Structure 1
Amino acid sequence: MTINDSPTDLHSAVDAALSDLAEGERVWAATSLTARAELLGRVRELTGQHAEEWVDAAVSYKRLDPQAPLVGEEWISGPYAMAAGAGSLEHSLLSLAEGRSPLENAHFGVANGRTTVRVLPTSVFDSLLLSGFSAEVWLQPGIGRDEAIRAAGLAQLDPTRTHGIGVVLGAGNITSIAPLDVLYELIAHNRVVALKLNPITNLLLEPLTKVLEPLIAIGAVRILTGGADVGEYLVQHPAVAHVHMTGSAATHDLIVWGHGEDAAARKASGQPRLEKPITSELGGVSPTIVLPGHWSKADLRFQADHIATQRLHNGGYNCVAAQAVVISSEWDQKDDFLRELRAAYEAAPIRSAYYPGSDDRVAAAESTYPDAEHFGGRLLLPGLRGDRSETLLHTEYFAPVLGVVELPGLGADFARAAATTANDEFAGTLGVNVIAHPATIQKLGAAFDILIEQLRYGTIAINAWTGAGFLTAGATWGAYPGHTLDDVQSGIGVVHNALLIDRPERTVVRGPFRPAPRSVLHGEWSLTPKPPWFVSNRTAATTGRRLAAFAAAPGWDKLPAIFASALRG
């Protein structure tokens, strides 16, 4: 639903959408779990049918070359993620409809005193397509296996008890964020949903309307466009019970507290202007911790490419893009590593700065760090220590800016220092990456386990990028628990979580240190070549298209073509 500029049209269109949803809530409450699963299955299928239109819209507003391998990012982080998420939620609802918990057949474990649930791999397909990758959700302390099984399902344990109308304020960067958030509101919280698109993504209105049509048809979803005035009227509307947003902490605080002296007074008194609950995913300054070890030239080259991807994927406009690489100043391969990082940063494809304000944020970083190294509009800030790193660690640039922060120490001493810096100095708690040679992990032993346990982040990726956690449907996605409205950091609550796990603490993702075939030659059980989300992957567009088609309609017959494309990447 497109809203015109006049306040009268604005209000009437929002009112009409919310009126539709009020009726739709009654329909949704009367919809059985089996029927809900069928609706999600239809959404999954429609994602595949309209995937090309979806990707074309993203390519257009992000100003990508339609023939470039970078288009693979749009296939994977758009239709693939959506189809995989819808399919996993569909499976959870079918389990509940049969009287079974979504976790009934899950693999449970224990890590640092917490119960864990494996969310990758969960099928033979997972094991083949993401060979060597794994992910587990750590539950909050004190929650055991039996309680986790009993509580899994969240609001769908009582599907007839709905919870009003939820508003989703969509993101402007990754195109699956908004529709996946819609599904989470609808399923995990049993709320019908008004999705307000970010104006940057208005070209997605048509494909998303087609994809979500089964839910729109029964009145469970409405999609709105428009500017900040529409969002303001929508979130303040008395018919709305809950708000979920993706964006910056500044935008969150504007919604919750207002601006200027009034906002300060409200914060001081603990009386927010938004008089309803809000959850959020707000990004932050994500670190990549590199543990010193003995790396081959091929290791240095691959991991430099890996880190360049962590920063430059989607042009750097990711809430979990790595912004600071934390390395040891005493690592005897530090200079070799930095040389490869510069080369990877320089070799990464140049792309348009499509996200509003990007050039200004790059200029601000350059003003703070005048000795920054330039690579086609991208900045690399090496050799930062002590006070020089403060601005980098406290400011989410949301732009192609990457700093290298050096800390003293080796071995367990460096690991402890890196964890303390990541926890205490970095803004936000959404995601942290840890890169370590397998021999280093083995040598550290318990000290490595302590490092992972001490990191207070919603997603921790070991020899992987936290973006892989975003793509894992069963993983939780969101900040580390404990933030509050007046100190929101990376947000409150989680999304994705297709197994509908109650009271998660974090997701831990693990990947291979080396790509195949080197991984196999060095004893790592992984057949995954260079992942298709790497910015340097030459066949990412073809692989991404084939992965999206597979997620929309899984089948053994699709695997050979996916493998063939992936191996050429």
Structure 2
Amino acid sequence: MNATNAIDQLAPQKWTETSPAERLRLLEEIRANMKKYGDDLALADSKMKNGILGAPLFSHPMSKVATVVPMASTVSAAILLYESILDGKMPQPLSVEKVSEDLYDIYVFPQERKDKLMYADQKSRIRVKGEPKQINPMEKPAGIIAVLGAGNYSSALEVLKAIFFENCAVVHKPHHLNEETDRIWAKIMQPLIDQHVLSFCDADQGQDLTVDPRLSRIYFTGGTGTAEAIMSATETPLISECGGNNPCIIVPGDRPWTKKEIEHQAVQIATMAKFNGGANCGRPQTLVTSKYWPQRKEFLDALRVALAETTPAMGMYYPGADKVVASFRQAYPEAEVLRPEGGKYPHSDVILITGVEPGGYATSHEAFSLVIAEVPLDLPANATGFLPGAVKFANTQLLGTLASAILIDEDTRKAHQKVLEQAVSDLEYGAVAINAMPSFIFLNPYLTWGGNEAGKKFVSGRGNFGNLLNYENVEKAIMEARFMSPGHMLYTNKRAFDNMAANMASFAVEPTWMNLTCLMGDAIRDSFRKKDF
């Protein structure tokens, strides 16, 4: 369908008049459809990625968890929202803390009993400017939002968020990589199409779509250049997420990290840096260390092992990834080339660049591929001396403002809590993860995702998506977990991961206690599995 006809299908004013009870019915239908068509989504996603790679690196469960779970989790969150609205009130936060004169931290997750079990050591909050104020989505004005789908994931989360959080009708344009999955999403979303609140246009309709004067806003996920071209062609406000060079700040401990702790953190970083072939907007790209940290060499050695041996091969399918890797290798000919699973799979080599000088190519460019760099700063190997300088480096010398992570052991954290909280405040990033990976902020509908670059040079994007509780003036999202959290994603066994992925997909579309028991029980059993690749 062309863009004009797709917009013609929409009735935005009618949607604003749709009752909370009717919206709940639609959400339940969509969740049932995800259960019905989930395997079709996974098949289309893995077929696309493995077809580009020429190797079976993306399993059916891996593709299913990537396509189904984010959308199903958003549907479940929206159900909670509208159940509360039906009861005559907005869902409330867990707590609100005043950070400074005009900043507040609003703790929003986990709230539900099942979430508290699954994420027992996690606390997630949004930081807002000014007195906290919620807006009932039913009271937001009618409008039409164009959602331009990303190429690195086959789930248009922004579609659901625009419809159910922003009260707007949506026309969705897929990325050309995801045209097949989009056809399946159209089947899943048929209840919304029947309500004239959602339509789909063809992948080649981007230019015509973005200049249509009937649009209220445009949601875009992709490259900075494309976002700038859209902004120059239209006056329609663009809410965009364009990636960046995400830091992972490694805080030197007041005490030495144990061997187990070092290996755990190395595997956590390796898992997320490699996941989806590096086409992961929240992946850590630049590790920020102190050159005086006594355990720096031990940590980097553990990271090499984690990247090359402990975690399986992941392939780069995203267009242009090989060229990006080549540009980093040209800039750093001494970079290490690590070959997981003996290099038997194409496009799976990992480039590790250590000892990078600030201000170099690796700090001013985004990889979005299997490249990871380490920058050892000339800063003391203690939290008080290191963290403020590391934050300043991240703010001033790394490309973009999308996502950041801080890894700090529990003893050091307890002794330097004020220093840590100041670092969280000072980091000019839309997402800050403490002892967690920022990708999970993106996946949490209670939180926000976006560069929030208002008033700055355009790199990572402006505005944000998400915000289930509908607070105004959100500055950033903050997720924290324990240093050795059992919830960390550690990809060390293919069968265990596939079991977890399949169970998560089942629970997401049918969140029963039985499915949660299967998920958690199998996770405990599979934690004892040894390497199987």
Query: Cα deviations across residues 385-441 of structure 1 (Å, max 9, x unaligned)?
Result: 234xx2111111211110000012222111111000011111111110100111111
Q: Which amino acid aligns with 1:95?
A: S
Query: Cα deviations across residues 513-562 of structure 1 (Å, max 9, x unaligned)?
Result: 1144xxxxxxxxxxx4x536x46564122212211221222111112210
Q: Which residue does 1:488 correspond to in 2?
A: 458
Give yes or no for the alignment of 1:76 onto 2:39.
Answer: no
Q: Which residue does 1:478 correspond to in 2?
A: 450
Aligned length: 509
**Which structure 2 residues correspond to residues 147-546 of structure 1 after superposition, within 5 A?**
148=133, 151-153=134-136, 155-158=137-140, 161-163=141-143, 165-176=144-155, 178=156, 180-227=157-204, 230-257=205-232, 273-293=233-253, 294-347=256-309, 348-376=311-339, 377-387=349-359, 390-408=360-378, 409-411=380-382, 412-480=384-452, 482-483=454-455, 487-516=457-486, 528=487, 530-531=488-489, 534=491, 538-546=495-503
**Using the alignment, how far apart are the partners of 2:135 and 2:358 within structure 1?**
45
Conserved 8 A contact 2:454-2:463 = no
Instruction: Kindly state the Cα deviation for residue 300 of structure 1 after the two structures are TM-superposed.
Output: 0.7
CA 1:483–1:97: 2 relative to 1, 3 Å: farther
Conserved 8 A contact 1:242-1:278 = yes
Instruction: Give the SS at the match of 1:240.
Output: coil
Match of 1:60 among 26, 47, 50: 47
Conserved 8 A contact 1:112-1:453 = no
**Using the alignment, how far apart are the partners of 1:564 and 1:429 within structure 2?**
38
- Unaligned 5+ segments in structure 2 are 340-348, 528-533
Instruction: Give the SS at the match of 2:200.
Output: strand
Segment of structure 1 superposing worse, 107-116 or 122-131: 107-116
Instruction: Kindly state the Cα deviation for residue 78 of structure 1 after the two structures are TM-superposed.
Output: 2.1
Conserved 8 A contact 1:249-1:489 = yes
Match of 1:89 among 66, 78, 87: 78
Q: Which amino acid aligns with 1:369?
A: Y
Instruction: Kindly state the Cα deviation for residue 65 of structure 1 after the two structures are TM-superposed.
Output: 9.8
**Using the alignment, how far apart are the partners of 1:152 and 1:25 within structure 2?**
19
Q: Which amino acid aligns with 1:254?
A: A
Conserved 8 A contact 1:69-1:541 = no
Conserved 8 A contact 2:66-2:154 = yes
CA 1:504–1:536: 2 relative to 1, 3 Å: farther
Conserved 8 A contact 2:123-2:479 = yes
**Using the alignment, how far apart are the partners of 1:54 and 1:112 within structure 2?**
46
Q: Which amino acid aligns with 2:513?
A: W
Segment of structure 1 superposing worse, 247-256 or 67-76: 67-76
Instruction: Kindly state the Cα deviation for residue 466 of structure 1 after the two structures are TM-superposed.
Output: 0.7
Conserved 8 A contact 2:312-2:494 = no
**Using the alignment, how far apart are the partners of 1:67 and 1:539 within structure 2?**
17
TM-score normalised by L of structure 1: 0.85
Conserved 8 A contact 1:457-1:479 = yes
Q: Which amino acid aligns with 1:353?
A: M
Q: Which amino acid aligns with 1:234?
A: L
CA 1:78–1:37: 2 relative to 1, 3 Å: same
Q: Which amino acid aligns with 2:150?
A: A
Instruction: Kindly state the Cα deviation for residue 369 of structure 1 after the two structures are TM-superposed.
Output: 0.6
Query: Cα deviations across residues 85-108 of structure 1 (Å, max 9, x unaligned)?
Result: 1111122123223320222x6432
**Using the alignment, how far apart are the partners of 1:203 and 1:69 within structure 2?**
16
TM-score normalised by L of structure 2: 0.91
Instruction: Kindly state the Cα deviation for residue 245 of structure 1 after the two structures are TM-superposed.
Output: 0.4
Q: Which residue does 1:9 correspond to in 2?
A: none
Instruction: Kindly state the Cα deviation for residue 182 of structure 1 after the two structures are TM-superposed.
Output: 0.8
Identity %: 27
Instruction: Give the SS at the match of 2:111.
Output: coil
Q: Which residue does 1:110 correspond to in 2?
A: 98
**Using the alignment, how far apart are the partners of 1:70 and 1:136 within structure 2?**
33
**Which structure 2 residues correspond to residues 126-141 of structure 1 after superposition, within 5 A?**
126-140=115-129
Query: Cα deviations across residues 230-288 of structure 1 (Å, max 9, x unaligned)?
Result: 1001111233332110011111012222xxxxxxxxxxxxxxx3121111111111000
**Using the alignment, how far apart are the partners of 1:392 and 1:536 within structure 2?**
31
**Using the alignment, how far apart are the partners of 1:201 and 1:464 within structure 2?**
29
Q: Which amino acid aligns with 2:115?
A: D
**Using the alignment, how far apart are the partners of 1:310 and 1:344 within structure 2?**
11
- Unaligned 5+ segments in structure 1 are 2-12, 258-272, 517-527
Conserved 8 A contact 2:249-2:407 = yes
CA 1:483–1:186: 2 relative to 1, 3 Å: farther
Segment of structure 1 superposing worse, 463-472 or 43-52: 43-52
Give yes or no for the alignment of 1:557 onto 2:514.
Answer: yes
RMSD (Å), alpha carbons: 2.1
Query: Cα deviations across residues 14-42 of structure 1 (Å, max 9, x unaligned)?
Result: 22211111xx2243233112212221222
Instruction: Kindly state the Cα deviation for residue 73 of structure 1 after the two structures are TM-superposed.
Output: 4.2
**Using the alignment, how far apart are the partners of 1:68 and 1:124 within structure 2?**
35
Conserved 8 A contact 1:290-1:326 = yes
Query: Cα deviations across residues 205-233 of structure 1 (Å, max 9, x unaligned)?
Result: 23211221110111111112223xx1001
Segment of structure 1 superposing worse, 285-294 or 306-315: 306-315
**Using the alignment, how far apart are the partners of 2:218 and 2:227 within structure 1?**
11
Instruction: Give the SS at the match of 1:413.
Output: helix
Conserved 8 A contact 1:286-1:431 = yes
Stretches of 4+ aligned residues off by more than 4 angstroms: 64-73, 535-538
**Using the alignment, how far apart are the partners of 1:383 and 1:66 within structure 2?**
33
Instruction: Give the SS at the match of 2:203.
Output: coil
Conserved 8 A contact 1:59-1:65 = no
**Using the alignment, how far apart are the partners of 2:505 and 2:363 within structure 1?**
35
Conserved 8 A contact 2:27-2:75 = yes
**Using the alignment, how far apart are the partners of 2:415 and 2:320 within structure 1?**
45
**Using the alignment, how far apart are the partners of 2:54 and 2:479 within structure 1?**
32
Segment of structure 1 superposing worse, 556-565 or 65-74: 65-74
Conserved 8 A contact 1:58-1:204 = yes
Q: Which residue does 1:38 correspond to in 2?
A: 25
**Using the alignment, how far apart are the partners of 1:356 and 1:495 within structure 2?**
25
Conserved 8 A contact 2:241-2:451 = yes
**Using the alignment, how far apart are the partners of 1:93 and 1:401 within structure 2?**
42
CA 1:255–1:204: 2 relative to 1, 3 Å: same
